[in-house]
Structure 1
């Protein structure tokens, strides 16, 4: 069911008209006799019923009007309005709202338990669908947002096995865009538009957090060592090439091997190397 606009009357105009009619009918009931007095009483009852047609619409709000269970339309005109007094009026907020999920424990694509939470910014864009398509659209938004978040977290690993694969931790912008699309697809039928979706919390579950931290540290150490070795090898190559180019010293293969070993120890060691000066023999 799609939203339809309804034309309501200005409440201030109807207020003035009903006040004037009410005063005239009261005077007629008091001063008129005979059959006209009965007519005046009936008209006064009708005017009294018309007073129930007033309602208020605030900015960024819609009033959903129904007549005995049949949808008539939605009124977006702000201020004091008047419509058929037999219409039921249900107000629906069109303002932007936030929903923050709790910390959900989910197994990622690799089977590791992670904790994840998200903030969803949304608003109602179709008041008829929000009221008639779902039982409680606010509860529907919260449940479907958490379901979409669980589905997304289980579809991707926390850390990617290679640099080309998507992961929850490394590809934040792509993940939140996929999350927004997933939530929007679930909330489309409720007349809700998702303006933004952001992951507010992402971490390994406490039971494996320590082990995963050690693994990350070990991986960082290996990568640092690899880069250090590559740099050291390049420096050794440069040193040997410069010595040969300048012809400062002639080195055989055994001396070259010893020099390479000493340079690699100096360049790749964890601690600062203490130099040893060969002063020769005293005797």
Structure 2
């Protein structure tokens, strides 16, 4: 017995623009109907039933009026069927039997809370971000997602957690020199976060305008250890530069003495001079002059 074939996935509902009528014109028509009904009753130009019909018609136009602010839209449905989205600001009018949901199209800020996650190396880090987003497709935001604001918040947190696992917090010997890190590659990390968020928000009809990290630090339990590691790396790098510079200065000094024929030094005396100069140049403390009254051989 064969299993029933699975139903094909339903296509996402995309936004359709709706052309509403000018609300001011409909207000004028409604007022004229009320005035006509009043005149008929007052002057008895026609049967009262006609006046009643005109009054009912004027009253029926009023529920179809609504106001839209700039960067605001109204999603309209008729007996449960989506008919379109009106993005025209001002006083508008539509079929009174249609119901609608207003939705803001303005840019919004989402400032995520600081989260503790593991980076690419597995080190715990604290990370937070600010996301600027807005609704692009109103139909998807209303009908495809139960609560698009909560959806954005949850998916943003998931994207940030995923982002942290793709990059190391800082460079090190285990990483290639050109590899992007969370601390040094802020622009590249921001671009990657924005692209990931746009993929996650596509089903909700939401687009990301900007996304930036607002907080980045090692977790407290390893912060002191990592600080000492960074200090050690900085000390080693500084020592390397100091030694390289000292070697160049010693070489220049020996070459200068040899070119001017000031001293004739054998290998042993050159070694002693090099040793003394390196100690002086590489020492962290001020050197103390010592008067040498002897020689290397006595």
Which of 145, 149, 152 lines up with 1:141 in the alignment? 152
1:25, distance to aligned residue in structure 2 (A) = 2.3
Bigger Cα displacement from structure 2, 125-134 vs 146-155? 125-134
1:128, distance to aligned residue in structure 2 (A) = 1.3
1:68-79 equivalences in 2 (<5 Å): 68-79=79-90
1:26-65 equivalences in 2 (<5 Å): 26-28=38-40, 36-65=47-76
Which of 282, 286, 289 lines up with 1:272 in the alignment? 286
Residue 16 of structure 1 is matched in structure 2 by 28
Name the SS for the 1:261 alignment partner. Answer: helix
CA root-mean-square deviation: 1.8
Residue 230 of structure 1 is matched in structure 2 by 244
The alignment status of 1:2 with 2:51, answered yes or no, reads: no
The alignment status of 1:251 with 2:276, answered yes or no, reads: no
Query: 2:81 & 2:42 partners in 1: Cα distance?
Result: 40
Residue 137 of structure 2 is matched in structure 1 by 126
Query: 1:270 & 1:230 partners in 2: Cα distance?
Result: 15
Query: 1:147 & 1:39 partners in 2: Cα distance?
Result: 64
1:42, distance to aligned residue in structure 2 (A) = 4.2
Give the number of equivalent residue pairs. 279
Which of 191, 196, 221 lines up with 2:235 in the alignment? 221
Residue 220 of structure 2 is matched in structure 1 by 206
1:47, distance to aligned residue in structure 2 (A) = 2.9
Deviation string 1:208-243 (CA, Å, 9 cap, x unpaired) is 111111111111111101111111111112212222
The alignment status of 1:117 with 2:128, answered yes or no, reads: yes
Deviation string 1:33-56 (CA, Å, 9 cap, x unpaired) is 99x434543443343222100000
1:131-170 equivalences in 2 (<5 Å): 131-161=142-172, 162=175, 163-170=177-184
Query: 1:134 & 1:29 partners in 2: Cα distance?
Result: 52
Unaligned runs of 5+ in 1: none
1:26, distance to aligned residue in structure 2 (A) = 4.0
1:275, distance to aligned residue in structure 2 (A) = 1.3
Deviation string 1:142-162 (CA, Å, 9 cap, x unpaired) is 111111111001111101224
Do the aligned partners of 2:22 and 2:91 also contact (CA within 8 Å) in 1?
Answer: yes
**Structure 1 residue ranges (4+ consecutive) displaced by more than 3 angstroms after TM superposition:** 26-34, 36-40
TM-score with structure 2 setting the length: 0.89
The alignment status of 1:92 with 2:103, answered yes or no, reads: yes
Unaligned runs of 5+ in 2: 1-12
Query: 2:42 & 2:155 partners in 1: Cα distance?
Result: 62
1:31, distance to aligned residue in structure 2 (A) = 6.2
Query: 2:171 & 2:41 partners in 1: Cα distance?
Result: 85
Query: 1:33 & 1:18 partners in 2: Cα distance?
Result: 20
Name the SS for the 1:84 alignment partner. Answer: coil
